[in-house]
Structure formats: structure tokens, C-alpha cells
Structure 1
Amino acid sequence: MHTSISAVAFASAAVLLTACSTTPTTTSMYSQDALPPTVQVPAGHRIAMQTVGAGDITYECRVKKDMAGQFEWVFVGPDAVLSDRSGKAVGKYFGPPATWASNDGSKVTATQLAVAPAGAGNIPFQLVKANPAMGSGAMTGVTYIQRVATKGGVAPASTCSAGNAGSKEVVKYQADYIFWKAA
């Protein structure tokens, strides 16, 4: 009797482990309630896709606009892989111009509407209005894109002066990109 109970317990444990390994991981529903109102998507839209962008932002040391003799790090453009919540690469984010491209060949550019602080050392939250998509696929019908959950990506802390004007530096960053379509 003891052997059969052990066998049943072992078989039950194996079934549970198998079920756990094949059950898709669920992701919590995204809510924009905690975001500043300036970067919230207007009512009448629904989430079409959630991605995590991870990659680089390039900055260049340039003369400050209308301030001869003063220099600053200026944003040049991003280069990031977009992955779904399970970690599968589904596209790229690059620029200029800022372009989100799906692996299915569709892509979209957008115009910035608003930014909001995202904490020290992090690029700001952002809301952009999408232009009509190029190609057919995941980006078709996208109306807004939010950049949230940002980590890193701010301009370099290194000196930017006449001595290194024109030099470029690359910094790592990560952010969630939430794609919205009309409901």
C-alpha cells in the first residue's frame, strides 16, 4: 500500500510540474492610471500590443543652439529591439525619424505630443501620435504609442566641450512601448 501511495504522489507531482511548464505565463493588464495625465492615451482607444524595447540611444556633443561657445549632448537616435512580454523579438525601434517596425514588415512613425519625468537617470515617459502605417500588419491602425517604464537612456555625464565637439556616445536604455488603436 505504501508503494502505491508513493507512486500516486509521484505521478501527481509529475502531472503538476508538466502543467506548470506548459501553462502560458499571464501578464497583468496594463493600466495607465498611474501615469501623468499628459502622457495618457485619450478615451476611445484600446491596447493593441505591448512591447519592451531594449537597446541604445546615441548622443552627439554639439554647440548649444543660439549659445556660441557652449556645448551639450544632443539626442541623435535610438536603436532597440522590441520584444513581446514573453521575450520574443517582434520588431525594432530606430531613427531618425522615430520608427517602430514590426517583424511582419509594417512600420509607423509618429509625432511627439507630450513627455513627463520618469525619475532620475531615466528618459522621460512619452506620448506620440502615430502617422498612418506603412505596410500591412501589426502597425496598421496604430493611433498612439506610449513610452513608459523607462530605465536609463539619459545623456552621458561625460564632458561635452569644444575639445570633443562632434563626438558621439551610446547609452543603454529600456522602455515599454504600448501601442494603441481606436476602440
Structure 2
Amino acid sequence: MKSTHNTVRAYGKGALTTLAMVLGTTVLMAACNVTPVVRPYDQTKFSEKVRVPAGNVVALETTATGNLTYECRANTPAAGSIGWVLVSPSANLYDRDGKQVGTYSGPPATWTMMDGSSVTGTQVAIEPVVGGIHIPLQLSAGTPGPAPGMLQNITYIQRVNTKNGQDFMNACTQAEVGQRVVRPYQADYIFWRAS
């Protein structure tokens, strides 16, 4: 009886040792095959016109959730045409932990943090997103407000990872001139400062 008990114990120890080795090897192999995390502001993902110039570093990453209000009106750049024109954005800004850190409003495009700091953006370039219902990617030059804080010294604001915002259900025709529509949207706003 004693030898059977010892055989079972020896078999159990051997099986546990084998299992530990297999699990350890699996963990080590997985660690070696880790692919680097691509950040939402990785400039290689964007066309040159919406890339942040060299010499700038990320100061703050936020996600905006809110609404864009459009009005059907004459399209000034294309004389004689009519189209939906953005008249006001309104969104809350959240950090990567989901905590609200500020707001976005306009015009002019202004990001304001809970600490009182702010930055106004002047559009440098846009890049349409495939699909047509998502607002374009955007690069804006930043003009910080006078209050110190998170947005002090911001040089650029980059809008990436856009979702919705241009999903117009009605055409903008002469009959709709003056009408407004509100469209929900989401986007990441990445704030940059000189390095």
C-alpha cells in the first residue's frame, strides 16, 4: 500500500512540475511576442498635412464626447453653393482614465480645462476620413490663454480617431437654408507643446 501511495505522489509531483514548465514557457513566449502599443497620436498613421511638426511633444491626451451644430447656408468658399456649415461645437473632454478634465466650445475653437487654462485653435489643415459620416482629422495651431495650467504653452491641437459628426440625413437645399441640425460626435484631441 505504501509503494502505491508513493507512486501516486511521485506522479503528481511530476505532473505539477511539467505543468509549471509548460505555463512558464508559454508566459515567456508571449512576453517575447509583445507588439508595441500604437498610440493614437503616432504621426506615421497620418498624412503629412495633419502631422504635428518635429520639435513638439505630447502634453495631454483627451477624448471629446459631444455635439456639433450645423446650419444650412450659403457656402462662402464655393460661391453659389449651399451646404451644412459648422456653427458651434460643444463637448466634454475626458482624460484616459475617463475623468472629465475640461470642455470644448466655439467659435472660435476653444478648449478649457478645469484648472482654468485654455487654448484657442486656428485650423492649419484637415484630412477627410473614409466613409463620409465622420468629421475629418484636423491640425490646429494653438494660442494659449493667459491662465497657467494644463494648456499653458500648447503649440498644436490634433484631432484624431473621429467618430460620427457628419452623418447628415437631409440634404441642404434652398428650402432648408437657415435650418440647424445637431450631430453627436467623438474624437481624440491631442495637445502638443514645444520640446
1-side partners of 2:124 and 2:73: how far apart?
25
Q: Partner residue of 1:147?
A: 159
Question: What whole-Å deviation, never above 9, does each CA across 1:123-174 have from its counterpart, x for those lacking one?
Answer: 1110011013331101100000100000011162303233332111000110
Question: What's the counterpart of residue 52 of structure 1?
Answer: 63
Partner of 1:107: 118
Please give the alpha-carbon distance, in whole angstroms, between the structure 2 residues aligned to 1:132 and 1:99.
Answer: 9
Paired with 1:118 and 1:108, the residues of 2 have a C-alpha distance of 25
3-state SS, counterpart of residue 38 of structure 1? helix
Q: Given residue 90 of structure 1, which amino acid in structure 2 is its aligned partner?
A: V
Instruction: Determine the structure 2 residue equivalent to 1:136.
Output: 148
The DSSP-based 3-state class of the residue aligned with 1:135 is coil
> 82-91 or 129-138: which moved more?
129-138
Q: Does 1:94 align with 2:105?
A: yes
Q: Deviations over 1:102-131 (max 9, x none)?
A: 011111101111111222111111001101
TM-score (norm 1): 0.79
Residue in structure 1 matched with residue 168 of structure 2 by the alignment: 156
Distance in 2 of aligned mates of 1:84 and 1:104: 14
Equivalence for 1:73: 84
Q: Which runs of 4+ in 1 moved over 3 A?
A: 27-30
CA contact 1:133–1:141 (8 Å) conserved in 2 = no
2:55 is the counterpart of 1:38:
no
- 8 Å Cα contact 2:118-2:144 kept in structure 1: no
Residue 43 (structure 1) shift: 1.1
Larger proportion of helix? 2
Bigger radius of gyration, 1 or 2? 2
Q: What CA distance in whole angstroms lies between the structure 2 residues aligned with 1:71 and 1:157? A: 16
After superposition, the CA RMSD in angstroms is 1.6
Q: What displacement does 1:177 show?
A: 0.3
- Aligned partner of 1:85 among 88, 96, 100: 96
Q: TM-score, normalised by structure 2?
A: 0.74
Partner of 1:24: none
Aligned residues: 155
**More displaced 10-residue stretch of structure 1: 119-128 or 153-162:** 153-162
TM-fit CA distance, 1:86: 1.1
